[in-house]
Amino acid sequence: MAVVSTGFIVFDLCLIIGAAFLAALVYFKHSYRYWKVKRVPYLEPTFPLGNDEYFFTKSATFAGEAKSWYDQLKARGHKFGGAWSFYRKVLVLVDPDYIRDVLTRDFHHFANRDMFANEKFDLQGCHLFNVRNSHWKPLRQKLTPTFTSGKMKMMFESVMQCCDHLVEHLEECAETGENIDSRKTLSSFTIDVIGSVAFGVDCNSFSKEESDFRKYANLFFRPNFLDYIRLLCLKLFPDLARKLRLKIGNTRRTKFFRDMVKQTIDHRIQFKVTRPDFLQLLINMNVERDGKEVLSFDQIVANTILFFVAGFDTPSTAMNFALFELARNPDLQEKARQEVRKVMGRNDGQTTYEGLREMTYVKQVLDESMRMYPPLLTLSRVCTKDYELRNTDIVIEKGTSVVISTLGLGRDPEYFPDPERFDPDRFSAEEKAKRHPYVHIPFGEGPRNCIGLRFGVMQSKIGLARILSNFRLSVSLKTKLRINLDKKLFLLKENEPIYLKAEKL
């Protein structure tokens, strides 16, 4: 009897799974007719992945597949077109005028990023990047004062001190002739910067012993199997995920940073310690004004973690590829070096906050690096109320995801002829004036652009200036001639390490 009973259970389970599969098939087939019914040009989907190139994407947002969508629609002469991420309908924008409409002109229809947030059950996972609806604007207004010119100047010295460790490390490599793992080296620098500027912690990431701070920091970019499952669920079934109280962050990582923030706050309040860093600016807001809390502890934790993740990865990626291209283009490297030395010569041989603004060619190097290798592969928004595309009768319905491929725009030969060639002169004032302003948007545009872009640029320029003024770089023979990019992450990475050689000047 037990065998017969077990057989019935297995049979029933197979029927349930089969019925669920058929229901999914019917739903997907109906969903896959969506853009055709709306008379929108679209890419033919395949069940069950739609137009996803990566079945197990490592991101909770759209990754490198958006570049493929952009290229296909552009090749067909379309200004926009439909695609599917599994069953989810996606509108891909190609024409920069429509991109400007969505990000800026008609922003009120697209205020939400297509990122998971659970404002009710995951307060420490809701930060400025993913918070939705009416929550984002008040938070943006609270955090904006932390990135004024005065605050940037306050953090400048901390970045310069961290750069001393970077220069010392490169000096050792130059003396021994050691190959330099570019990303690892620059990540150590940016971890030191964010540890100091965000948390007031001296990480000393260039030491041989790995600190807890560095260990947990690296875990943000090394998701495990359960992280993949959770991220896939958040991407495909966000409403269900909220009901199940799922969180976007790994509990261990969040707990580590939460405890660090709490200990730092308690220490500073108890001993009346203040530091010129990001966390101090947030602590100063964690007071009541007119009976209202300006910034809660949960908001401080969430946005400190966001500041860490963005400030750690984005500048290191920009500098990593910039140094790689300069190393294999020695004439451009020398041009950048001469500008740095000329500016430093006007400031008693020092790199100063004011002097950074005069390093226009170094900024062009960074812009060209982010054109070819944008740290953030895609920008995505969700339509919050029905919207009619300009000069059409097509209505984007509420809840529809809208995707912009920064990698597709940056590698588009219409805007950047010979796009595989590294040429910082593309970003001279004269050349920029000839292009549509929305074809190079590595930090986004409009009211929800990257709030910390000025800090990221400052940090990257300091790193490049200090390196170029002290070392001549070349590409190690250990580096492959062609760098393959990992497009499964929404934050761009190279698949193989980039190794450089440094010669002390």
* pLDDT tens digits, one per residue of 121-169: 888 888 888 888 888 998 898 888 888 888 888 889 989 999 999 999 9
Helices 453-470 and 330-345 meet at what angle, rounded to 10? 100
Between CA 420 and CA 37 the distance in angstroms is: 38
On whether the CB atoms of residues 70 and 95 are closer than 8 A, the answer is no
- DSSP 8-state secondary structure symbol assigned to residue 29: H
* Residue 241, pLDDT score: 80
Helices 297-327 and 182-199 meet at what angle, rounded to 10? 150
Q: Counting beta carbons within 10 angstroms of the beta carbon of residue 226, is it exposed (0 to 12), middle (13 to 18) or buried (19 or more)?
A: exposed
- Binding site listing: 450
Between CA 83 and CA 65 the distance in angstroms is: 10
Confidence category of residue 23, pLDDT binned at 50, 70, 90: very low
Q: Which amino acid is at 121?
A: F
* Residue 292, pLDDT score: 61
**Which residues share a beta bridge with 396?**
387
The Cβ of residue 3 has, within 10 Å, a number of other Cβ atoms equal to 7
Q: Which of 455, 491, 470 is nearest to 196 (CA)?
A: 455
Rounded to 5 degrees, what are φ and ψ at 381? -135, 160
Between CA 360 and CA 338 the distance in angstroms is: 12
pLDDT exceeds cutoff 60 at 8:
no
In which element (H, E) is residue 369 found? Answer: helix 360-372
* Mean pLDDT of the 437-448 span: 95
Between CA 363 and CA 369 the distance in angstroms is: 10
Domain map (residue ranges) of the chain: 53-75+106-504
Contacting residues for 268 by C-beta, under 8 A, at least 6 apart: 274, 275, 280, 283
Between CA 293 and CA 190 the distance in angstroms is: 32
- Reported as half-sphere exposure (CB side, CA atoms, 13 A), residue 188 has a value of 21
| Least confidently predicted of 160-174, 191-205, 232-246, 454-468 | 232-246
Confidence category of residue 395, pLDDT binned at 50, 70, 90: very high
Q: Quick one: how far is CA 74 from the chain centroid?
A: 24
Q: Which amino acid is at 382?
A: V
Between CA 91 and CA 80 the distance in angstroms is: 7
In which element (H, E) is residue 431 found? Answer: helix 429-434
Q: How is domain 53-75+106-504 classified at the architecture level of CATH?
A: Orthogonal Bundle (1.10)
Q: Which of 139, 7, 115 is nearest to 61 (CA)?
A: 115
Burial code (b: 16+ CB inside 10 Å, e: under 16) for 317-354 equals: bbbbbbbbbbbbbeebbebbbebbeebbeeeeeebebe
- Binding site listing for heme: 450
54-90: per-residue pLDDT in tens?
654 444 445 668 888 999 999 999 999 999 988 889 9
What percentage of the chain reaches a pLDDT higher than 90?
48
- DSSP 8-state secondary structure symbol assigned to residue 500: E
**Which residues share a beta bridge with 112?**
382
Length of the chain: 505
Between CA 244 and CA 246 the distance in angstroms is: 6
Rounded to 5 degrees, what are φ and ψ at 400? -75, 135
**Which residues share a beta bridge with 378?**
405
The pairing of beta strand 493-494 with beta strand 288-289: unpaired
324-377: per-residue pLDDT in tens?
999 999 999 999 999 999 999 999 999 999 999 999 999 999 999 999 999 888
Q: Quick one: how far is CA 58 from the chain centroid?
A: 14
Mean pLDDT over the full length of the chain: 85
On whether the CB atoms of residues 369 and 325 are closer than 8 A, the answer is yes
On whether the CB atoms of residues 305 and 219 are closer than 8 A, the answer is no
Q: Which residue has the tokens 């021994």?
A: 176
